Each structure stands twice: as C-alpha cells, then as structure tokens.
Amino acid sequence: MGFVALSARAAADEGFNPDACAYNGLPLHGDIQVVESFPDIKVQIVESFPDLKVERVGSFPDDCGQWRFVDSFPDIKIQYVDSFPDLKVQFVESFPGVP
C-alpha cells in the first residue's frame, strides 16, 4: 500500500499541476532565469490558450504566475522554445495565474 501511495505522489509531481500552480513540483512563481541549455522548464510564449498567465514583477513574486527575472540565484531556470514546450505561457499586465 505504501508503494501505491508513493507512486501516486510521484505522478502528481510530474508535469504541469494547475491546482498546485507547479511543474514537476516546482512552484510557478519566484525568481526566473532564462538559460540557453539545461532548463528546469521549456517555455513557449503564446497569445492564446496558455497553461499559465505570467506577470513580470520587480519584487515579491509570491503569487502564482508572478515572475521576477534574475541573472543569478534563480528559483527556476527556463528556456524559450518554439515547439515541444513543457509549459505555454502568456505574458499579462494583471491577473496572473492559471486561466
């Protein structure tokens, strides 16, 4: 029974989890660094039907979809891609989060 519970927990941490606003267990807010290789998440920017609406903030990126872009010490590393993304995002000026 412990194995089944562990498997269910592992499955919940894989991929995009809109209820937890997380991807593979990583919360989708905080300090974000854009990298060219070895990202935590591959991101595609879209204009419609996003998985997540993202607001760029200058401080306190504490809520779902609030990202502060940094050059060092990130919470999450992302790579922009044109195809086969892990997550589709739309940048917004207000009301970030899961649509």
pLDDT of residue 8: 47
Tokens read off for 34 = 């854009």
Quick one: pLDDT at residue 1?
Answer: 45
Cβ proximity of 56 and 69 under 8 Å:
yes
Per-residue CA distances from 55 to 10, 26, 27 (Å) = 29, 17, 15
For residue 13, what pLDDT is reported? Answer: 66
User: What is the rounded end-to-end Cα distance, in angstroms, of the chain?
Assistant: 36
Containing 90, the helix (H) or strand (E) segment is strand 87-92
Residue type present at position 84: F
Tell me what pLDDT residue 72 has.
97
Task: Please list the pLDDT of the chain residue by residue as tens digits (99 residues).
Answer: 444 444 444 555 689 999 999 999 999 999 999 999 999 999 999 999 999 999 999 999 999 999 999 999 999 999 999 999 999 999 999 999 999
Radius of gyration of the chain (CA): 14
Give pTM, 2 decimals.
Answer: 0.86
pLDDT at 14: 85
